């Protein structure tokens, strides 16, 4: 543990030293950008239905500052500061069906606050809050519909609760599904290797002595299509993350528009659990002109509790009317089968949840 902390400090020292000894900046740039992504979300939990006005958590409302210095032809040092601000996030249980108020706290949430040092031959070193090596490894998707549907299916209506026919809450959609997408964004040090042909590898180390490793691949075949894939593994098994986990996802896009996406994630040896949770995801899509359509299916087992079986089917359409503006619509069906031994006494099985989201994302 101490050894790893020393390693982190050593890496920081190296990075700062490099900054100091490098020649003067050759090119400097600093940019501000952002997006607003709002939607109308209708849901039906089997007992009641409701309409919500939400921030689409598939790709939340946010803005960011980016910038960098190029030093000679090889070095680049840059920063990313990205924050999100969501009013009624679509995955927040405060907007459950039957809740009439908006979410009370609307704050800035950190996404990325990091700097990086990059060398053309030696790779890229990140320091700060940002994507861990494993972030996104379950979410490779070339369908063009990720603004409303991708393997993290709970982003769309994760705030809705599964209820029995007496309206007793069992768990939320967000609590029943997971794509086991690594460690998301954290305070960490991360290193990306340079590309070896179509492949590069990453590793990160973060608070709680957790670590992860990942690999990514992208390859394009002339007149045929493009393949992208990623996978991660962590056996950190720390107090912060007391398990080992891995996931992989791949997406194939033919030049004529047909595309396929698959993802798998699993968590092993979770403390206090007898069964290992895992998730399977598959998607078929079609892209043409300004349109993208997709149908997906996800199956999660043991995610919320031992012997849970949850499944979901989604249909999505995205219209990129202008390059900076897109409109989308999606229908998603959710089903949870929880073992009676895992439910509170007197609580029945979950009713199905249907949800429809219609909205738009505007980049500014």
Partner 1 sequence: MTNNQSTWWMLLGIGLAIAALMGCGAKGQPAEFEQTAGEMKEGPGVLTGEEGALVVYDSKRGGSFPQFKGQQSESSATETSEKAGEAAPAASDTSAGSKPIVAGQTSTGTQVSPEAAREFQEFQEWKKEQQAFREFQEWKKTAQGAAEYKEFLEWKEWKSYQEWKKQQGQ
Question: Which residues lie near partner 1 (CB under 8 A)?
Answer: 25, 27-35, 58-59, 62, 64, 66-67, 82, 136, 139-142, 146-147, 150-152, 155, 195, 197-198, 200, 216-224, 226-231, 246, 248, 250, 252, 262, 264, 266, 268, 276, 278, 280, 322-326, 361-364
3-state secondary structure of 333: strand
φ and ψ of 66, to 5 deg: -130, 150
Nearest distance from C-beta of residue 17 to partner 1, angstroms:
24
The CB-of-4 to partner 1 minimum distance in angstroms stands at: 26
> Minimum CB separation from partner 1 for residue 75, in Å?
15
What is the spatial distance between Cα 350 and Cα 354, in angstroms, rounded to a whole number? 13
The number of helices, as runs of H, and strands, as runs of E, in the chain is: 3, 19
Q: Specify the residue, 4 or 319, whose C-beta has the smaller distance to partner 1.
A: 319
When the beta carbons of 45 and 202 are compared against partner 1, the nearer one is: 202
Q: Among candidates 263, 353, 344, 349, which has minimal Cα distance to 312? A: 353
**Minimum distance of partner 1 from residue 22's CB (angstroms):** 16
Least CB distance to partner 1 at residue 138 (A):
9
Give residues with Cβ within 8 angstroms of 75, minimum separation 6.
Answer: 18, 22, 117, 118, 119
Q: What is the 3-state secondary structure (H, E, C) of 8-31?
A: HHHHHHHHHHHHHHCCCEEEEEEE
Nearer to partner 1, 162 or 177 (CB): 177
Compute the half-sphere exposure of residue 240: CA atoms within 13 Å on the CB side of its CA: 12
CB of 133 to partner 1, least distance (A): 12
In the complex, minimum distance from the CB of residue 7 to partner 1, in angstroms, rounded to a whole number: 27
Q: What contacts 159, CB < 8 A, 6 or more positions away? A: 89, 90, 91, 92, 93, 94, 95, 96, 172, 173, 174
Nearer to partner 1, 163 or 190 (CB): 190
Integer angstrom CA distances of residue 330 from 10, 123, 277: 48, 39, 27
Q: Which is nearer to partner 1, 189 or 231 (CB)?
A: 231
Residue 303 in contact with residue 310, Cβ under 8 Å?
yes
Measured from the CB atom, the residue of 74 and 239 that comes closer to partner 1 is 74
| Distance between CA atoms of residues 70 and 55, nearest Å | 36
Residue placing its CB nearer to partner 1 in the complex, 180 or 205: 180
To partner 1, the closest distance from the beta carbon of 102 in angstroms equals: 23
Residue pair 56/23 in contact (Cβ under 8 Å)? The answer is no
Which one, 98 or 360, has the nearer CB to partner 1?
A: 360
Instruction: Pull the structure tokens for residue 306.
Output: 């031992």
In the complex with partner 1, the residue whose CB is nearer, 310 or 350, is 310
Q: How far is the CB of 315 from partner 1 (least distance, A)?
A: 17
Alpha-carbon distances, residue 120 vs 14, 72, 125, 262 (angstroms) = 17, 11, 12, 32
């Amino acid at each position: 543990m101490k050894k790893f902390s020393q390693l982190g400090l050593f890496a920081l020292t190296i990075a700062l030293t490099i900054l100091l000894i490098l020649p003067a900046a050759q090119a400097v740039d600093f940019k501000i950008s952002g997006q607003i992504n709002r939607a109308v979300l209708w849901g039906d939990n089997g007992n009641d239905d409701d309409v919500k006005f939400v921030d689409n958590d598939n790709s939340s409302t946010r803005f960011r500052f980016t910038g960098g210095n190029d030093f000679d032809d090889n070095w680049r040092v840059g920063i990313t500061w990205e924050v999100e601000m969501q009013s009624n996030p679509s995955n927040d249980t405060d907007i459950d069906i039957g809740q009439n108020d908006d979410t009370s706290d609307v704050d800035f949430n950190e996404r990325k606050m990091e700097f990086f040092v990059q060398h053309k031959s030696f790779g890229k070193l990140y320091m700060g809050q940002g994507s861990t090596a494993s972030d996104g490894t379950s979410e490779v998707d070339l369908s063009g519909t990720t603004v409303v549907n991708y393997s993290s299916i709970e982003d769309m209506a994760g705030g809705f609760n599964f209820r029995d026919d007496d309206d007793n809450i069992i768990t939320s959609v967000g609590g029943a599904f997971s794509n086991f997408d690594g460690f998301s964004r954290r305070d960490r040090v991360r290193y990306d290797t340079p590309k070896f042909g179509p492949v590069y590898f990453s590793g990160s180390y973060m608070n709680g002595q957790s670590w992860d490793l990942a690999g990514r691949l992208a390859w394009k075949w002339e007149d045929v299509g493009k393949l992208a894939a990623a996978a991660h593994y962590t056996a950190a098994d720390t107090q912060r993350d007391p398990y080992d986990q891995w996931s992989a996802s791949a997406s194939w896009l033919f030049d004529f528009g047909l595309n396929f996406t698959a993802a798998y994630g699993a968590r092993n040896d979770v403390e206090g659990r007898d069964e290992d949770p895992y998730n399977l995801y598959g998607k078929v899509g079609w892209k043409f002109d300004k349109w993208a359509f997709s149908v997906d299916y996800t199956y999660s087992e043991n995610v919320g509790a031992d012997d849970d079986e949850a499944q979901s089917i989604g249909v999505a359409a995205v219209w990129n009317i202008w390059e900076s503006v897109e409109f989308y619509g999606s229908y998603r069906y959710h089903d949870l089968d929880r073992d009676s031994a895992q439910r509170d006494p007197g609580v029945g099985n979950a009713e199905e949840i249907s949800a429809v989201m219609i909205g738009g994302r505007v980049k500014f």
